[in-house]
Amino acid sequence: MTELRSSLHGLWLPLVTPFRDGELDEVSLRRLVRHYADFPVNGMILAATSGEGMALGIAELERLVATVRAEMSDSRRHLPICLGLSGASTAKMCDALDETAAWPIDGYLIASPYYTRPSQRGMVQHFNALADHSSWPIVLYNIPYRTGVNLGNDTLLALAEHPNIVGMKDCCADRAQSIDFLRRRPSGFRVLTGEDAQYFDALTDGADGAILLSAHIETETFAAVQTLLGEGNRDAASASWESVSGLTRLLFAEPSPSPAKYWLSRTGLIDSAEVRLPMVEVSEELATRLDAEIERRTPPLLRRA
């Protein structure tokens, strides 16, 4: 395993979880890992929103992690792995941390408690309790439009003092809040944007990288945006971003990860676009739009009929 804090930068992939006939599709999963191991990806998130983690049972989660780690070992690319966890009960979350403590991961991505809408003081106590309990480092996941509660910057600054809380996936959808936190965060506390459409802006504002569903497609171009910015070549970075920014809208035109799974199945990386209810596969209208973009971007030999 890696030391997560030092690895939390660059482009991370929130890997989709392939299914076939209602079951975890390990063949497609291994194919995905082999494929992305050859690309400039700095780490992977498993079983978070894009990975339909809330639709997976504990045994499936364990198989998912074990399969990904085994395939990485076979490919000799030892990327760090964070496991996505979420829940509204601190006690139950501590139980989940116990159940997963021996798994071959490098840390957790943990969202704010959903639905219950705790106070800022309650969230400080919640995340501190998890960080005290966890065997692995924690990356906070602030996504108020899904959980119903926003981690304010003073709360984040308090949590950033905990030695076992090493960074944040920022989906607050408020650029002013994000910029304020980037300016005030303590040294060594990492911030990765999770807002695909705001990737370029977040990097120019000072984010350390990104966790992007859209980077399942045109992975090298998404990675090049940050590389070019780091080299001071803003014009080239902007041109690279313009070439893929439309994907960030298309792949979220219907609830994610269905559009991305459709694309990956049409290009042969996974065997089925299957998702689990309450998610559904893409509409015929969106499938037509996706097919047109696949036709434009994908060599004919890589397309499925």
Cβ contacts of residue 3 below 8 Å, gap of 6+? none
Count other Cβ atoms within 10 Å, centred on residue 99.
12
92 an active-site residue?
Answer: no
Q: Where are the beta strands (DSSP E) in 123-200?
A: 138-142, 165-170, 190-193
Catalytic residue among 36, 92, 145, 169: 169
| Contact (CB, 8 A) for 138 and 131 | yes
Catalytic residue among 141, 199, 261, 262: 141
141 an active-site residue?
Answer: yes
Q: Where are the beta strands (DSSP E) in the chain?
A: 10-14, 19-20, 23-24, 43-46, 81-85, 107-111, 138-142, 165-170, 190-193, 209-211
Structure token digits, residue 76: 């000799």
Cβ contacts of residue 128 below 8 Å, gap of 6+? 159, 162
Structure token digits, residue 223: 């990675």
Among all residues, which ones are annotated catalytic? 141, 169
